[in-house]
A and B are shown apart, each in its own frame.
Chain A
């Protein structure tokens, strides 16, 4: 009798134990499916980046390997005449234009943006945080075509009247881009300056330093990598911007002699000609090579940003 009850008991116990110890098959599949879906989505990001690099590179390199243009000629020749006889593929004017316009924009926007960031965090923190910061963050979202359009309707005529030139110029491009990247630089620099520990400021002020001395020697010094990050982010945006620049720079392939001369950039060259050339022709391939240059430049910007980010972590 006793024996029989015990037997039933162990049977039940082992059943329960088995149920608890073995995987619930339905739950197991559910877990695995979910995990796989999430992983596929994440892997997609990698696939997209790799395929962008692959496709643009394979198209862009065909200028050199199929059409037989030499890389050094392509990068350094100043004559761009892809429809001439013989066709000339010197993209140096475009490269120079891109760099000049980016540098000009950064030169104007960096001091202004960082200055505004200091004003918002150190001089009028209350007003800065409540009013200025939200306004500037809103402005980050303004579409670049709008900046280009304003440049076209206000800036270009203004320059034309002031200096008695065409108006479409390096200066107009630099100013439009400066305006466009100002909000970006200001908001990133503000975050970097806000992250400086209050103790550092207090220590400096306790030593008898004035507010400006504190800002210059302590706050700016310790937020330098962050402020540089802000400027490089702005420059990356300026370098890759296409339409806003194209609308105001005049698009000539001659080398500029002054700030008031019209220029071309890599992006404006691509935008204007990609639609009018036939796929697979040397002219078209040369445009893809310019796109490849843009891609490589954005890799360079990322490397600089990563380097600055590591600097910040060390701090």
Chain B
């Protein structure tokens, strides 16, 4: 019995690892031949073969930057409140409950909320900015949790030393505790970036499923063809994969999707690996004094 169980469990583990590695290998090998500069930079072609994913790739990164610009300050602020101020009362419990609810909401529901509030009520239509706000809602709980944990892990003695010098609590938080917690917060932020990069369902009805012809020489924030204008519709890489598969007309739709999926996977794996690598690097750096 013991031996049978060991064999079965080993087989299960092997099966899972095999499937998952096979999955990654499949996507990477399928898309490998598409990974050239031309594919990565040229705009997509709606009817003919040979289109690229340039604007989509740019949109994904730009949306990531916009989202982080909004979500990071809010997440860190809320994290500070939860770690340093929140008294043990009903309101705090309510905030914790809200964090739980937000983190388990289906992303399509967040997208629909974005459609109602950030697209229709504001009258902006499908814009990058609406997409960024929806993704902020989507990622806030993760950022708050990460910040709170990182702040709580800062040794008490550092805080007490600062307070004993007569420095106010807020100054202590901003200039002593927050810097010490920064590595943890950054690791979490990189992980959140990976999620933003791969998210599609929340963006279908907020950032839209189309991208205007971008003129990459135009850097004014107002021009509708400027890549930097946050109030233009923008299709991201993940949305593009979905769209090409469900309503693509080009003969090489499969090829485009292969390439885009490979790029997406590589980007997401890079985000996750760098978060891991960055975490250990900072840990070594910060603890090297004591070794």
Interface residues of A (CB under 8 A from B): 27, 30-31, 33-35, 37-46, 48-49, 51-52, 55-56, 59, 111-113, 115-116, 118-120, 123-124, 132, 134-139, 141-146, 148-150, 152-154, 179, 182-183, 186, 210-213, 215-216, 233, 236, 239-243, 246-247, 267, 270-271, 274-275, 279, 288, 291, 294-295, 298-299, 301-302, 305-306
Given A141-B194, A274-B205, A247 and B242 touching (CB < 8 A)? yes
Please name all residues of chain A whose beta carbon is closer than 8 Å to the beta carbon of B228 when the two chains form the complex. Answer: none
Residues from 169 to 203 in B contacting A, C-beta threshold 8 Å = 169-171, 173-174, 191, 194-195, 197-201
10 contacts between A and B (CB under 8 A): A44-B78, A116-B9, A142-B265, A144-B200, A149-B241, A186-B16, A211-B2, A247-B245, A302-B100, A305-B100
Cross-chain contact B98 with A143 (CB below 8 angstroms): no
Interface of chain B, main secondary structure: helix
Cross-chain contact A242 with B85 (CB below 8 angstroms): no
The answer to whether the Cβ of B10 comes within 8 Å of any Cβ in the partner chain is yes
The one of B15, B78, B254 that contacts A42, using a Cβ cutoff of 8 Å:
B78
Please name all residues of chain B whose beta carbon is closer than 8 Å to the beta carbon of A240 when the two chains form the complex. Answer: 105-109
The one of B5, B15, B104, B238 that contacts A212, using a Cβ cutoff of 8 Å:
B5
Please name all residues of chain A whose beta carbon is closer than 8 Å to the beta carbon of B198 when the two chains form the complex. Answer: 141-146
Interface of chain A, main secondary structure: helix
* Interface size range of chain B in the complex: 35 or more
Given A41-B77, A49-B101, A56 and B242 touching (CB < 8 A)? no
Given A44-B74, A242-B201, A145 and B81 touching (CB < 8 A)? no
Cross-chain contact A288 with B106 (CB below 8 angstroms): no
Please name all residues of chain A whose beta carbon is closer than 8 Å to the beta carbon of B194 when the two chains form the complex. Answer: 141
Interface residues of B (CB under 8 A from A): 1-2, 4-6, 8-10, 12-13, 15-17, 19-20, 23, 26-27, 30, 73-78, 80-82, 84-86, 94-95, 98-102, 104-110, 112-113, 115-117, 120, 137, 140-141, 144, 168-171, 173-174, 191, 194-195, 197-201, 204-205, 209, 238-239, 241-242, 245-246, 254, 257, 261, 264-265, 268-269, 271-273, 276
Please name all residues of chain B whose beta carbon is closer than 8 Å to the beta carbon of A42 when the two chains form the complex. Answer: 77-78, 81-82, 86, 95, 144
> Measured between C-beta atoms, what is the minimum distance from B254 to chain A in Å?
7
